[in-house]
Structures are given as C-alpha cells and as structure tokens.
Amino acid sequence: MNIVERFLKYVSFDTQSSEETGTTPSTEKQRVFAEYLKEELLREGLQEVELDELGYLYATLPANTEKQVPTIGFIAHMDTSPDASGKDVKPRIVENYDGSDIVLSEGIVTSPTKFPELLDHKGEDLIVTDGTSLLGADDKAGIAEIVQAMVYLQQHPEIQHGKIRIGFNPDEEIGLGAHHFDVEKFGCEFAYTMDGSEVGEIEFENFNAASAKVTINGCSVHPGYAKDKMVNAARIATELVGMLPADETPETTEGYEGFFHLTSISGGVEKAQLSFIIRDHDREYFESRKTEMQDIVTAINDKYGEGVAQLDLNDQYHNMREMVESKMYIIDIAKQAIAEASMPPKVKAIRGGTDGAQLSFKGLPCPNIFAGGLNFHGPHEFCPVQSLEKAMQTVVNICKITAKELGK
C-alpha cells in the first residue's frame, strides 16, 4: 500500500470529535478508527502495539543498530474538527494542477482568488473534497506519513535507526489530545507531532492560551416600568465586548500578535453568556490580557452591582518554546531532515495550539512538523500528494540523522 492509498483509506473513517460528550475518546467512532490502525500496525510488523481503554494507540519500531541511540517518537491525532462534517468524505485527485479554479461540486468552487496558496502547488497532484465535508488531512495525513515511514524503514534496513515510538491520540481538535497521553509509557527523549500545514514548516512556538466564560446575570422587568429596576444582561454583554480593544482580534492580527476572540454570545434580558479565547505568544503579555479581562468584569460589577458579571477564566496551554529552547538540537535535526528531503526548512510560530505544547510541559519536548494539508476544518481543505511524500521522507530522515548524530 502506498502513502496515497493509505491516506485515502484513513479519510473514509468519520472521526469527528465532540465537546459535548465528556467522555474519552469524545466519540466512539474515533475508537473504530483506532482499532483499524491497531490491526494495520500489527500487519505492518510494528511491535508493542497497544490500544488503551481511552483510545490512545502506541507502537514501536525496534532499533536496527548496536549504537546507543535516544528513543524518539512521532505523534499524530485521529480526530477531525467539530467545525465541519467528516462523514462520507469523497476525495478525488486533481492531477497536475494548472492553477485554475477547482469545481468541487455544483456551486462549490475552490479558487486561488480566495485561496492563493493553491498557486504554490501548480503542477502537483492535489487531493480535494467534493465540497460536502472536510478532507481530514488534519491529521490523517500525519498518521499516513508516520505509518508509511515505518514501513519504508523496514523495507530499507540499510538505514540505521534507534528505537522509534509512535503514538496516535484522540480529541486533539477539542484541546484534550495530550491530557491522557502516557508520556512515561511512551518513553522517548524527544518527539515530533506531524500536524502542521505547508511543506518545510517546523514549529516550536505556539500561543499561550486561556478560555474565558462570562455570565451576565440580569433582572427582567416590564419595559414600561423598568426605570432603575431592569438590568438587561444582553445589553451589558455587548457593552463588555465593546470594552475590549477592537484592534486585538483574530481579524486584525498576525504573526506574533495576540488577541481576544469572542467565540460565542447568547442570552436575553435575564441572563447572557459570552465565551472568549485569549491568545498571546509572549507570556508576560498573555498574563496582562487575562488581567485585562478580569478588570473589565470588575468594572461591570462596579457599575451594575456585585455578581452581575461572573468570570470563569482557565489556562489551556502554554508556549512550548519554554520547554524546547534548551534542547535546540532537536530543531536542528528537523531542519536537516527537511533540507535532505529537498525543501527549505521554514521555522515559524503557530498561531494556535498543538498537542506538542502540552506534551512538552509534561516532560516530552515535542515540536511540530508539517503534514502537508491546507485550508483545514472545512470543505476547501486540500492536500498535495507530493507534500505527503516529502513529510514521510522527513520522518525517515529524522530517524536516520538521530542515529548518526546522537548514536554512541
């Protein structure tokens, strides 16, 4: 089975995660895919294949060298985003893409006018959807690349490598993928998540992240007799949003700039609820953003009465740079591996999060490497075949370089 066949098989599984269930994995269909992968890994000759009760799958490719080489790992997630359907994915391959519009189905067009990154892949073979679902390259491309690399290494015993561990986890898309990942059992000195986008990218900086949920408690009174009595929760909710800096939102920021993002607002006179995410790469600015949110809620209560606004503020993850920068040799290995796969390495910061951030803070330094898909979480997602192949070769190269540079 080649990497394209493997990837197309994987996207036939609906593995959408859910924030509503409170279970791990959050959806049973993720476990169905995990069971399939378990059997596939056994067929492909992997050892120590273990699927635990929470849907985390681990396996080993034993070392083929007498050198003492650090055990390294490769990690990808099995779930797809709740933002778009992952059911009945109907992929097709646009061969030798010519740079024009791609008609996914009647009335649904992926155009380089809206998605200019398409033009970076002219002449390549693009795997696209039919416009009714996402594709699932996030992160089934990563899984296919890791599995194919393990197969390749077994087919090429002349490539020396140390012990390699692989791990596939559920629920990354709802922020829970690393919560039950058994770092001690995984037993690696360092690892890489294969979960990035454009070819050549390496990421070891990500946002510091917090969630903020605000409840506004109002008082409903007949509007004809409401003077000095009514407390309109919905109106106060909009006032609170207006107190945040208008130029510090996802729509107005880029690069290392942080933001406040209102993800939902609902309610009426009696009660209103707002949900925000708070993001910043800089830890000091991140803490000041949380303080700003707290100060705004305090100001609302000072104006309308204590307890009118209630804030539930929680950290989600932090910038993995804090945990990786003392081990920059693992970034150097990735750079060399990408260069040897005939690509310029591109170090960039993630404007988002990654399982690697949480794993790094659990004691497993874990930068992120490109998996090749683009336009994630929607029907215009696509993945170049050539990107799958280059990512797979990058995994092989990391294994080879680690044995050569760190083996004793």
Q: What is the pLDDT of residues 206-264, one digit of tens each?
A: 999 999 999 999 999 999 999 999 999 999 999 999 999 999 999 999 999 999 999 99
Q: Which domains does the chain have, with CATH numbers?
A: 3-206+319-406 (3.40.630.10), 208-316 (3.30.70.360)
Q: What is the pLDDT of residues 152-173, one digit of tens each?
A: 999 999 999 999 999 999 999 9
> What band does 196 get if pLDDT is binned at 50, 70 and 90?
confident
* Percent of the chain residues past pLDDT 90, beyond the cut: 94
Locus of tokens 């309610």: 267
Q: What is residue 353's predicted lDDT score, i.e. its pLDDT?
A: 77
Kindly state the tokens that stand for 43: 């067929």
First to last CA, the chain: 35
* Residues 40, 166 contacting (CB under 8 angstroms): no
Q: In this structure, how many other beta carbons lie within 10 angstroms of the beta carbon of residue 155?
A: 8
Q: What is residue 316's predicted lDDT score, i.e. its pLDDT?
A: 86
Q: What is the pLDDT of residues 348-368, one digit of tens each?
A: 998 887 789 999 999 999 999
Q: What is residue 355's predicted lDDT score, i.e. its pLDDT?
A: 87
Q: What is residue 197's predicted lDDT score, i.e. its pLDDT?
A: 86
Helix (H, G, I), strand (E, B) or coil at 366: coil
Q: What is the pLDDT of residues 288-316, one digit of tens each?
A: 999 999 999 999 999 999 999 999 999 98
> Looking at 79, 138, 173, 355, which residue is catalytic?
79
Q: Is 79 a catalytic site residue?
A: yes
Q: What is the pLDDT of residues 90-113, one digit of tens each?
A: 999 999 999 999 999 999 999 999
pTM assigned to the model: 0.88
Residues 6+ apart with CB under 8 A from 125: 93, 94, 95, 96, 97, 384, 385, 386
Q: What is residue 88's predicted lDDT score, i.e. its pLDDT?
A: 96
Q: Is 172 a catalytic site residue?
A: yes
- Backbone φ/ψ region at 227: left (φ over 0), alpha (ψ -120 to 50), beta: beta
> Looking at 14, 139, 171, 172, which residue is catalytic?
172
Helix (H, G, I), strand (E, B) or coil at 183: helix
* Residues 50, 57 contacting (CB under 8 angstroms): yes
Is it the case that residue 19 has pLDDT exceeding 90? no
Average predicted confidence (pLDDT) for the chain: 96
Q: What is residue 391's predicted lDDT score, i.e. its pLDDT?
A: 98
